Amino acid sequence: MRHGLPLHDGHHIRLIEGGQAYFDALVSALDQAHSHVQLETYIFDFHGAAVLVAQALERAAGRGVRVCVVVDGVGTPRLPPEWQTRFSRAGVAWRVYSPLGTLGLLIPSRWRRLHRKLCVIDGELAFCGGINILDDWYDPHHGTLAQPRLDFAVSARGVLVQHMQETMTQLWWRIQGVTQAKQQQFPEALKSFRAAGVHWPWKQAGGLSAPTLVRVKAGLLLRDNVLNRGQIERAYLKAIGAARHEIVIANAYFLPGRRVRQALIHAAQRGVRVRLLLQGRYEYFMQYHAARPVYGALLAAGIEIHEYVASFLHAKVAVMDPDHERPWATVGSSNLDPLSLLLAREANVVVADKAFAQQLHQRLVLAIEQQSQPVGVQTFTQSPWHLRWRDRVAFALMRLALFLTGNRY
Where in the sequence numbering do the catalytic residues fall?
115, 117, 122, 314, 316, 321
Using CA atoms, how far apart are residues 132 and 22, in angstroms rounded to an integer? Answer: 10
Using CA atoms, how far apart are residues 294 and 399, in angstroms rounded to an integer? Answer: 13
CA 332 → CA 141, 154, 190, 228, distances in Å? 23, 8, 33, 15
Q: Would you call 103 helix, strand, or coil by DSSP?
A: coil
Using CA atoms, how far apart are residues 131 and 154, in angstroms rounded to an integer? Answer: 10
Task: Determine the residue type at 36.
Answer: H
Using CA atoms, how far apart are residues 189 and 195, in angstroms rounded to an integer? Answer: 10
Could you tell me if 327 and 352 are in contact, meaning their C-beta atoms sit under 8 angstroms apart? yes
Give, as one character, the DSSP assignment of residue 345. B
Output the 3-class SS for 263-281: HHHHHHHCCCEEEEEEECC
A 10 A CB-CB count for 236 gives 27
CA 162 → CA 122, 127, 289, distances in Å? 10, 12, 39
Q: Would you call 258 helix, strand, or coil by DSSP?
A: helix
Question: Which helix H or strand E contains 283, and what residues bound it?
Answer: none
